[in-house]
Amino acid sequence: MQIPFDNTYANLPTHFHHMQGAEPVSNPALIVWNSDLARELGIVAEDKTEIAGVFSGNQTANGSAPLAQAYSGHQFGYFNPQLGDGRALLLGEVIDQSGTRFDIQLKGSGRTPFSRRGDGRAWLGPVLREYLVSEAMHAMDIPTTRALAAVSSGDPVYRETILPGAVLTRIARSHLRVGTFQYFAHRRDIEGLQTLFTYARDRHYPDAETPLDFLNCVIAAQARLIAKWMGIGFIHGVMNTDNCSISGETIDYGPCAFMDAYHPMCVFSSIDQQARYAYANQPDIIVWNMAQLATSMVPLMPDQQDSVKVFTEAIHAMPQMIQKEWITVFAAKLGVAEVTETDAQLARDLLNIAQNHDFDFTILFHSLTAQCKSITETENSDLNQWLTRWHAETTGRRDPDLMRQSNPAVIPRNHQVEAVITAAVNGDFDPFHAMLGAVTRPFETHVDYMAAPKPHQVVKATFCGT
């Protein structure tokens, strides 16, 4: 296997990471390989056996310097100083055809010093879920980590039951998180914090001259990201600061889910008892997370009192920035590129109607595209009135192409993800491959994947899979 590694994180001071190899697995077998992505990254593989060997962690490719990264994080609002890669290893970095640096990371690769009581493993379900959802997000033009490979390990994983183990290979612009900054700030390791800042700045926002510039870049990237999540009904489920990326990519697909029927307080994660990370809370939570980043960056500034003031201003500006991104996203869903305040009200009113009538979020917006040119009466008078208003208020401004690109026909629906996982656990991977084909072309019609769940199919809770 040829992987053009060009590693930088491994050269950071030793307390940034723990250098170690993966724990071997018994019987690695390739489930899926993202050959297009491999090509973009310049990875040349011989055959399935070799791919399964390298991306299970059993073989070390030339140039790889595997390591577990150290980080902290607020989990559900409570600070945990010692998280880190407890079931993941960074194999190294590569630079793609466009010149962008990417991490190659194994997830489920065994124990590290950061594993605490965990086994360092992943079972097949969360691996397939992350593969499907992250590739679907990418296809919907949402910044995200990606999936390069999934390999079954041949080993059992012990959760509430015995489940088949698997390893996911994740590609990210980096795995730097808000929690990475918190790690050094919490230890009052100002030198480490400075090193991290310089590294993160050079890698992600090279034009940022000051810590404040950098903070503003992260804020802007996250504001855009969260607005995009809202536009496709995505609920991340664990927006802890360790799952909040400095690059502005969606990262960590644990208990994530897409809304079926629209409800702002929609929440799926079984561990999110207080609905902290409900759909409509996401814009507030990201501001809270950025405040944690700002707090951990205060020691980087020469005048700390002044920095608290300017950082606070930056954080206070964020809700409006998210709102602006939100309006852009939802106006595009209504076919409008040049946004006015009436468009925002139109979008809000449509969401209210959706909430009152339990409309499926994805189907509602997708079906609007067909109504772009001329309205056909629906069975719902609220919706009919709204359609008439939409047509009147956006005359001459509606763009059907913009609508098509903004309103996916297909999302990875929870009940279908679950069905795919159940089949795979029983040895049948065909449903996984079929669904992957559909969700990675989300703006095309795939009738088998477009229906809302029937009442008995509705998934009410999702699980972290840890």
Return residues touching Mg ion (CB under 5 A): 243, 252
Mask: binding to ligand AMP, 252-271, rule CB under 6 A, as x and -? x-x-----------------
Shortest Å distance, C-beta 118 to Mg ion: 12
Nearest-CB residue to ligand AMP? Answer: 118
The packing angle between helices 318-333 and 341-357, to 10°, is 70
Mask: binding to ligand AMP, 203-222, rule CB under 6 A, as x and -? --------------------
Of 28, 84, 165, 231, which one interacts with ligand AMP (CB under 6 A)?
A: 84
Q: Give which of 42, 29, 36 is closest to 2, Cα–Cα.
A: 42
Q: Which helix (H) or strand (E) holds 333?
A: helix 318-333
Q: Which is nearer to Mg ion, 180 or 362 (CB)?
A: 180
Shortest Å distance, C-beta 415 to Mg ion: 25
Q: Which is nearer to Mg ion, 176 or 208 (CB)?
A: 176
Choose the contact partner of 238 out of ligand AMP, Mg ion, none; CB within 5 to 8 A by kind: ligand AMP
Q: Specify whether the CB–CB gap between 227 and 325 falls below 8 A.
A: yes
Secondary structure of 378-432 in HEC code, one letter for each residue: CCCHHHHHHHHHHHHHCCCCCCHHHHHHHCCCCCCCHHHHHHHHHHHHCCCCHHH
- Give the number of other Cβ atoms within 10 Å of residue 202's Cβ: 12
Q: Write the single-letter amino acid at 303.
A: D
Q: How far is CA 396 from its chain centroid?
A: 36
Of 56, 243, 416, 462, which one interacts with ligand AMP (CB under 6 A)?
A: 243
Number of H helices, E strands in the chain: 15, 12
Q: Which is nearer to ligand AMP, 245 or 394 (CB)?
A: 245
Choose the contact partner of 296 out of Mg ion, ligand AMP, none; CB within 5 to 8 A by kind: none
Q: Which is nearer to ligand AMP, 238 or 321 (CB)?
A: 238
**Span near ligand AMP by CB under 6 A; candidates 33-41, 56-64, 164-172, 235-243:** 235-243
Q: At a CB cut-off of 8 Å and minimum separation 6, what does 142 contact?
A: 225, 228, 229, 232, 234, 250
Q: Which is nearer to ligand AMP, 144 or 362 (CB)?
A: 144
Q: Which structure tokens are listed for 125?
A: 């379900």
Shortest Å distance, C-beta 20 to Mg ion: 19
Coil, strand or helix: which one is 2?
strand
Choose the contact partner of 87 out of ligand AMP, Mg ion, none; CB within 5 to 8 A by kind: ligand AMP
Q: Give which of 200, 158, 166 is closest to 296, Cα–Cα.
A: 200
Shortest Å distance, C-beta 163 to ligand AMP: 12
Question: Please, which of residues 290-319 interact with ligand AMP by CB under 6 A?
Answer: none
Q: Write the single-letter amino acid at 356.
A: N
Of 83, 226, 293, 347, which one interacts with ligand AMP (CB under 6 A)?
A: 83
Nearest-CB residue to Mg ion? Answer: 252
Residue that the structure tokens 């809304």 belong to: 259
Q: How far apart are CA 327 and CA 320, in angstroms?
A: 11
Q: Which structure tokens are listed for 465?
A: 């899979």
Q: Which is nearer to Mg ion, 164 or 179 (CB)?
A: 179
- Pairing relationship of beta strands 162-172 and 122-123 according to DSSP bridges: antiparallel
Q: How far apart are CA 139 and CA 133, in angstroms?
A: 10
Q: Which is nearer to ligand AMP, 243 or 462 (CB)?
A: 243
Concerning whether 448 is annotated as a catalytic residue, the answer is no
Residue that the structure tokens 């990326």 belong to: 245
Q: How far apart are CA 250 and CA 135, in angstroms?
A: 11
Shortest Å distance, C-beta 187 to ligand AMP: 17
Choose the contact partner of 405 out of ligand AMP, Mg ion, none; CB within 5 to 8 A by kind: none
Question: Please, which of residues 111-170 interact with ligand AMP by CB under 6 A?
Answer: 114-115, 118-121
Q: Which is nearer to ligand AMP, 66 or 86 (CB)?
A: 86
Q: Write the single-letter amino acid at 364.
A: L
The site that binds ligand AMP (CB under 6 A) totals a number of residues, namely 18
Diameter over CA atoms, the chain: 66
Which member of 85, 242, 260, 343 is catalytic? Answer: 242
Choose the contact partner of 83 out of ligand AMP, Mg ion, none; CB within 5 to 8 A by kind: ligand AMP
Q: Write the single-letter amino acid at 376.
A: T
- 87 binds ligand AMP per the rule CB under 6 A: yes
Shortest Å distance, C-beta 249 to ligand AMP: 14
- Give the number of other Cβ atoms within 10 Å of residue 376's Cβ: 8
Q: Specify whether the CB–CB gap between 386 and 353 falls below 8 A.
A: yes
Shortest Å distance, C-beta 417 to Mg ion: 19
| Residues labelled as active-site residues | 242
Binding site for ligand AMP (CB under 6 A): 83-87, 114-115, 118-121, 238, 242-243, 252, 254, 464, 466
